[in-house]
Amino acid sequence: MSFLPMIAIVGIFYFLVLRPQSKKAKDHQKMLSELKKGDDVATQGGIIGRITGIKDNEVTLQVQEGVRLRFLRSAITGVYTGDAPKSDKSEAKAS
């Protein structure tokens, strides 16, 4: 009898925390794999720039004319549309 409440708690935890978090991570990985030259993106540090080069796990952003910065691909939070970064959450709502 005491296992039933524990199983229910684990089930609730899975559906409220683990499942949405794994879906968000999967969407973020998809967005990172679809990045291409010329995309405007925002980084975790709040830097906005245009992609000028992509290597395996590295992205080069032009943040100003003549100023390029290298970032890890995982530091990109989303594609920048002008108002705010279009992160994974925004893409999921748009679908």
Residue ranges of domains in the chain, CATH in brackets: 3-94 (2.30.30)
Higher pLDDT, 5 or 91: 5
Helix (H, G, I), strand (E, B) or coil at 56: coil
- Are 31 and 88 spatial neighbours (Cβ–Cβ below 8 Å)? yes
Cα 21 from Cα 85, distance rounded (Å): 19
- Encoding tokens for residue 52? 């000028």
Q: Is the pTM of this model over 0.75?
A: no
Reported as a single tens digit per residue, the pLDDT across 41-72 is: 999 999 999 999 999 899 999 999 999 999 99
